[in-house]
Amino acid sequence: MELQATLQAPNTPIGVATSLEPFADRYQAYFPRVFAYVYGRVRNTETAEDIASEVFERAFIKADSLRNEEAFGAWLFTIARNMIASHGRRQARQNQSVSTEIVNSLPHHDAPVDSGLLLQEEVRSLMIQVKTLPTRDQEIISLKFDAELTNGQIARILCLNEGNVRVIVFRSLRKLREMMTHDLEQDSTKSRRPKFSTPQASAR
pLDDT the model gives residue 126:
72
Reported pTM: 0.63
Closest C-alpha to 106, from 131, 141, 148: 141
What pLDDT band is residue 198 in, cutting at 50, 70 and 90?
Answer: very low
On the question of pLDDT at 68 being above 60, the answer is: yes
Do the beta carbons of residue 162 and residue 176 sit within 8 Å? Answer: no
Dist CA 33 CA 35 (whole Å): 5
pLDDT the model gives residue 129:
80
pLDDT the model gives residue 191:
62
Gyration radius from the chain CA atoms: 23
Calculate mean pLDDT across residues 39-49: 85
Chain segment 107-158, per-residue pLDDT in tens: 655 545 454 555 556 666 676 788 788 888 988 988 888 888 999 999 999 9
Dist CA 192 CA 203 (whole Å): 33
Mean pLDDT of the chain: 75
Dist CA 78 CA 90 (whole Å): 19
Treating both helix axes as pointing N-terminal to C-terminal, what angle do 151-158 and 72-91 enclose, rounded to 10 degrees?
50
Dist CA 184 CA 118 (whole Å): 11
The amino acid that residue 159 corresponds to is: C
Dist CA 5 CA 10 (whole Å): 10
Dist CA 172 CA 134 (whole Å): 9
